[in-house]
Chains A and B, each alone.
Chain A
């Protein structure tokens, strides 16, 4: 059987493409469809079209007099999700950039060791790492025990199930995601340029600002997206660190398919989350396509 080149290539790619279409793309369409249905009595849906799902994303009706109000709870969760994701990105930047710099500037013989050290957390189960963080800050956790043993406090600090706990957890588990792309960018950087800049009277900070940073920027942006997007859609870490008190969008979605029994709302929330992520990704693509240094002075 003689196939054209194009047909042959399509045929080879078919299994992967079909699998993904069936189990990833098609289901998304189903979700979109479900967001326009009505909630069933015991979960699942009734086959009646309704805009309530989308409506309930941001609004709710007062149970007594049926007036429209903005859903504080939902708004808080949405705000928390976006806000904590930004905050997580910032924290991972603060700790991740120097780490990436450090690894990239080690002599070649040592570099493998440090890379190995940063890769292990990267491959370790998210759940395991979240459990490890949780152990540090829960009431009977390491932090509290040490502080109490030193006599600094007399009662354990309640740190779990707060925004702080979720932020800490996410920063901890997503940190390696920031380090690796930034490391890759610094590793490709031509250090003779820094030599030139110091030769031309630049201070270390000036060199960092005008030579190093602009050329390493693509890696920093990549790392930021690699942290922001998973943070936005995080589920496991907020569930364990935030419990029911500090929920993020992922947990809110989960609730609708559990005790909330509102599948259309869950579907609508899921689509909302997907749109937010897509916006972030599009913004990223814009940022990385051909930016030049703007004129100085």
Chain B
């Protein structure tokens, strides 16, 4: 006698395909990480566990430069874009429709609608002219570009959070003689914080992971982690690549885990 009865949520074959998919998704990444611990020089010939490649990477000046660039870039871009996105979200959410609102909305989402390579060459053209004219080759261009495409990524979670917020709290605050700014500072902002945090982390990861834009807009000698990685791929296939890749992987896992824990706590 079947104890469990008829499971309406069961679709034959789904579980098998699903688990297979998970395995297929993870095997390449697991192998990649395992290579980074391989002490041997030839990729694929397992010669023993070692951290030499990580060491090599950390002593590699080019790698360190790229890492620092990436960090500066990601931090600046995410801070600035989150700031702008927060302001924009407040401007466009929970308002009675005002003139131009949908226009603003479209503009804010525009970078998502155009393939990145198109934006990359577009900026290449413009920035190329500016470089010629001014001779400036610093990180500024990249920061501007990253900030731009990070804005929609920061905007969406903040807006979502804002829309889900209880308006009555702010009404209560105003009822208690708070000025607009005070209400914002003491009531709105703290409640909005998780959304802002989510937007910030999203922007950070997007910037850190960016390949196309950075590759096109960087000046000679200027590298970010992903562009450095891509360059190394073509030059020499050493296990150092896997070490760097594993590091990037680790950062992603940490950020995802971090935001997971953060959202668990909130709920």
Stretch at the interface among B54-62, B123-131, B164-172: B123-131
Residues of A within 8 A of B107 (CB): 17, 20-21, 25
Stretch at the interface among A55-63, A65-73, A274-282: A274-282
Q: Is the CB of A123 within 8 A of B255?
A: yes
Cα distance A10–B88 when bound, in Å? 8
- Flag whether B117 is at the interface (Cβ < 8 A): yes
Give the shortest distance, in Å, between A181 (CB) and chain B (any CB).
Answer: 14
Cα distance A229–B114 when bound, in Å? 9
Cα distance A26–B84 when bound, in Å? 19
A side interface size, CB within 8 A: 87
Residues of B within 8 A of A160 (CB): none
Residues of A within 8 A of B264 (CB): 112
Q: Is the CB of A101 within 8 A of B14?
A: yes
Cα distance A27–B126 when bound, in Å? 7
- Flag whether B21 is at the interface (Cβ < 8 A): yes
The SS class assigned to the B binding surface is helix
Q: Is the CB of B99 within 8 A of A44?
A: no
Residues of A within 8 A of B249 (CB): 124-125, 128
Cα distance A274–B114 when bound, in Å? 6
Q: Is the CB of A99 within 8 A of B18?
A: yes
Give the shortest distance, in Å, between B156 (CB) and chain A (any CB).
Answer: 12
Which of the residues A172, A270, A281 comes within 8 Å of B122, measured between beta carbons? A270
Stretch at the interface among A46-54, A133-141, A286-294: A133-141
Give the shortest distance, in Å, between B129 (CB) and chain A (any CB).
Answer: 9
- Flag whether A117 is at the interface (Cβ < 8 A): yes
Contact digits for A250-261, partner B, Cβ 8 Å, 1 yes 0 no = 100110010000
Q: Is the CB of B125 within 8 A of A31?
A: yes
Q: Is the CB of A6 within 8 A of B99?
A: yes
Cα distance A19–B113 when bound, in Å? 16
Interface residues of A (CB under 8 A from B): 5-6, 8-13, 15-17, 19-28, 30-31, 34, 44, 94-96, 98-99, 101-103, 105, 112, 116-121, 123-129, 131-133, 135-136, 140-142, 145, 172, 175-176, 191, 194-195, 198, 204, 208, 229-230, 232-233, 235-236, 240, 250, 253-254, 257, 263, 266-267, 270-271, 273-274, 277-278, 281
